[in-house]
Chains A and B, each alone.
Chain A
Amino acid sequence: MNTQIRKSLNRYHMISKKDFATSGSIQQTAWLCLAMLATVGCSDFEASFSISENTRSLAAEAQNGTGESPGVIALTEEKFGNPQSLKAWTKLPVNWGGTSVSVAAVGSDGDAGTSGESAEVETADATETPESGDNKVTLQVPDESISLPNTVSSLLVSSGESAGQSVAVTSWDASTGEAILATKLVLSAGDQCTLDAGKGLQEGRVLYMRHCSHCHGTAGDGNGPTAQYLNPRPRDYRHGVFKFTSTNDMSRASRNDLTRVLRYGIPGTYMPSFLLMEDDELEAIVEYVRFLAMRGEFERKLVVELSSDYSKDAMVSRIEGGETRDEIVEELAEFLELDMPESVDYVGNDLQEIWTAAETEEARVIPTVARVPDTAESRRRGRELYLSKTLNCADCHGIDGAGNGPQTMAFEKNPITNEKYNEPGLHDVWDNLNQPRNLQAGIFRGGRRPIDIFCRVYSGIKGSRMPSFKNTPHEDIWHIVNYVLSLPFESDPGATGSLASSEVAGGAEAGD
């Protein structure tokens, strides 16, 4: 990626100020830029994570907190930061990036023992010019398989006296591991540190803001400026739900699933293929998307904790029930102060568990039998199953697979509000009309490999009304896969004639 663009994007959106040290001074490409900024009077302003509708449905105090206790908005910011200053909640299974190192020696003379005394904590005063000798540390990698990065801009200390402190690195020598820190820290040999902690996430954010955010939104809410024109609408990650996965129906998407979608796009939608991105770029974007998904889920789950008692609607009905607003707010304050920290922990553990589980072998869909040979007989069997009462694929996809089953004409109820949707047809959890696929079109959004279709049937399509058929024997699923894959090439898919003729051929084969 163009380093200049990377820099300029960094300047406007990407500088992480708190948990991670700043990404270093941005060299202006030309002095002309300054003249230009003076002319235009450009003042940058900051990107923000939008607050979800869910959160907005809470009473103001629940959103913003009461007294000392933070509300949902502040809690989310506390754990995840904002686009300018991301935070790493290290509990979460996100690959934050950076290089783990340990301190080998402190001070210019390399004598770790004596430097400990002199290296008292100094206030971070930028105006004071530090003597380079005092701020020198020598770092080493834990084992030889990892090499030191060529450029380093910050150091995060994770153990020892200065644990949790982060400092900018003003000079770095990759060959010796010698770093000069911007301010003094109390360090001693053996302290664990991370160089450029969060760098991966920051890079993901740079790439995300360039390639993704105009559709998917800064917060991954699927509501960027371009989103309103797209059909179907871009994914809103904040449910933590991704449609096309290779994991079972109860699992989150794995990193591989997301990478695959980025790499090959989703045919039939505006999600384009980013095949030509470098692997590390894709990796960075995937981590950032997972980070946003977790952030969104976190926010949602906190809202769930509060919504039954402290949503705007609940407040209204409670006040109607005789309570006064002040009483409720008092109760809320108590809840936020005493119970909320526990809930935050609980939600964090939950997120950690489910997103970690998605990467495991157990979560992956692995058919127990290999694909049944794609014979006419198999397809006929597939069609039987497709039409059968138990699976009833035709109810949605139509008897000839054209995506026009009876359900597409029915008015659905919104499962949450219990109100009927305005338009007939099936809806997904994002409340968008999401009609069943026309299988004759030959466009398979989740991929056209047999295993892809298998996963769609086995796990269902998460977030949509396509249910999981995990209890169906795998062999039967393969029959259905064979039938589905043959549909685009049937001139008259529903007619028995063509089936009959191919059946004859298949029968002959079977006879052999």
Chain B
Amino acid sequence: MNLSTLLIWFLRLLSTGLALYELVVGPLVNSVLADVSLPLLSDQVAGTKWFALIFAVTTWASSEKRFWALFFWYWPLVALWACVIAPGNNWWFPSEPLSRAGHQIDGLFYMILIIVAVTFIGTEFALGYALWKSAVRGKDDKVWFSHGSHRLEIVWTIVPAFILVFISMAQLDVVADIRVLNRFPDEVQSGPVAEVMARQFEWRIRYPKPGTELMTTPQPGDLYYVNELHIAATVPTMVNLRTQDVQHSFFVPRMRVKQDAVPGLIIPIWFDAEKAGEYELLCTELCGWGHYKMKARIIAETPQQVSEYLTGLQADQEEDGVADEE
């Protein structure tokens, strides 16, 4: 008995054991014995038992050759299954997109996902099928002696080319909406509401003194805060993104916003929060040892609340420690 045979036998026993445990023994024991609770993989990840069963069957699928062919069919199935159950297990986007650009980005993501999934299934299936065909071929079957096919080459050059160009073209408008300054929404043409200054390892926020415009250099009366940016919900907002030291990146996952803060540049960015609430803000460009510590939030609320907040901030910033007696 050589090692490959040994390997196959090992896999057969292992997978059969797992399948039996997941499908029969585990549930049986758990239901019969009230105070025993065996950990089942199926409880963690739905569908595991069925994959265990399929795998067990695969390993018994006669010869070693067929096993390998099935192996190359099996793993894409597992991969696809992982993707199918991912949203249900919360292994997916942190939330629905909560901004205009977010909807566009997610739309494009799902478009690409469908194209990619079809291609993935097609190519992996074809690969597995090619293996299977060979595994079940008769001893005297002739090998297909071929150096290739012009027609096929042309087909599989032109079709993907069209698809790729199509994907590419579909992006352009969205890129322009997000990034090109003169296509920014009208609401933000009046200027940025705040400056977000990244530094190792926090986000320093500077608002202009209520009633004035934000200047690029600090002005007397500017209001300062850290790690918390208040914006009006539902309307697009523009901020100036800067960094005091190294490169950082402004990432708001729920809004699908990301922009690097580049030393020496002031980069205007716009975003909007569809709903009032808190949005995580974090850094996604390596900025030193404390990179992961740059935890902040954006609070979206009504314009009224924003101005109240700024008034409160202003009062706090003029705090002189003497109780008002007047």
List the interface of chain A (C-beta within 8 A of B). Answer: 30-31, 226, 229, 246, 264-265, 267, 270, 272-273, 275-276, 365-371, 442, 448-451, 454-455, 478, 485-486, 488-489
Q: Evaluate contact between B201 and A272: CB separation under 8 angstroms.
A: yes
Q: Evaluate contact between B319 and A276: CB separation under 8 angstroms.
A: no
Q: Evaluate contact between A365 and B227: CB separation under 8 angstroms.
A: no
Which of A30, A264, A454, A485 is close to B321, meaning CB atoms less than 8 Å apart?
A454
In the complex, what distance in Å separates the CA atom of A273 from the CA atom of B228? 10
A449 contact set on B, CB distance < 8 A: 316-320
A229 contact set on B, CB distance < 8 A: 289
Q: Evaluate contact between B321 and A273: CB separation under 8 angstroms.
A: no
B202 at the interface (CB under 8 A from A): yes
Shortest distance between the CB of B85 and any CB in chain A (Å)? 18
A367 contact set on B, CB distance < 8 A: 320-322
A30 contact set on B, CB distance < 8 A: 39, 44
Other than A270-B200, A451-B319, give 9 A-B pairs with Cβ distance below 8 A: A265-B226, A368-B322, A370-B320, A370-B322, A449-B319, A450-B318, A450-B321, A488-B218, A489-B218
Shortest distance between the CB of B155 and any CB in chain A (Å)? 47
Per-position 1/0 for B301-326, Cβ under 8 A of A: 00000000000000011111110000
Q: Evaluate contact between B319 and A264: CB separation under 8 angstroms.
A: no
The number of A-B residue pairs with CB atoms under 8 Å apart is 69
B318 contact set on A, CB distance < 8 A: 371, 449-450
List the interface of chain B (C-beta within 8 A of A). Answer: 39, 44, 200-202, 204, 218-220, 224, 226-228, 289-290, 293-297, 316-322
Shortest distance between the CB of A480 and any CB in chain B (Å)? 13
Q: Evaluate contact between B220 and A486: CB separation under 8 angstroms.
A: yes
B44 contact set on A, CB distance < 8 A: 30
- Of the A-B pairs whose beta carbons lie under 8 Å apart in the complex, a sample of 12, sorted by A's number, is A30-B44, A226-B289, A270-B200, A276-B296, A367-B320, A371-B322, A448-B224, A449-B319, A450-B318, A478-B320, A485-B220, A489-B218
Q: Evaluate contact between B320 and A489: CB separation under 8 angstroms.
A: no
Q: Evaluate contact between B296 and A275: CB separation under 8 angstroms.
A: yes
In the complex, what distance in Å separates the CA atom of A261 from the CA atom of B280? 22
In the complex, what distance in Å separates the CA atom of A273 from the CA atom of B201? 8
With contact pairs A265-B202, A267-B204 given, residues A272 and B293 touching in the complex (Cβ less than 8 Å): yes
Task: Give the 4 A-B residue pairs with the shortest CB-CB distance, closest first.
Answer: A451-B321, A371-B320, A275-B227, A273-B226
A368 contact set on B, CB distance < 8 A: 322
Q: Evaluate contact between B226 and A442: CB separation under 8 angstroms.
A: no
A454 contact set on B, CB distance < 8 A: 320-321
Q: Evaluate contact between A448 and B39: CB separation under 8 angstroms.
A: no
CB-CB nearest in chain A for B224: A448
Which of B219, B296, B317, B322 is close to A448, meaning CB atoms less than 8 Å apart?
B317
Q: Evaluate contact between A276 and B295: CB separation under 8 angstroms.
A: yes
Q: Evaluate contact between A275 and B321: CB separation under 8 angstroms.
A: no
In the complex, what distance in Å separates the CA atom of A48 from the CA atom of B297? 35
In the complex, what distance in Å separates the CA atom of A56 from the CA atom of B210? 57
A276 contact set on B, CB distance < 8 A: 227-228, 295-297
CB-CB nearest in chain B for A455: B321
Shortest distance between the CB of A499 and any CB in chain B (Å)? 16
Shortest distance between the CB of B40 and any CB in chain A (Å)? 11
Shortest distance between the CB of B231 and any CB in chain A (Å)? 17
Among A30, A270, A273, A454, chain B packs the most CB atoms within 10 A around the CB of A273
In the complex, what distance in Å separates the CA atom of A273 from the CA atom of B317? 17
In the complex, what distance in Å separates the CA atom of A451 from the CA atom of B322? 9
In the complex, what distance in Å separates the CA atom of A366 from the CA atom of B319? 12
Shortest distance between the CB of B194 and any CB in chain A (Å)? 16
In the complex, what distance in Å separates the CA atom of A106 from the CA atom of B296? 50
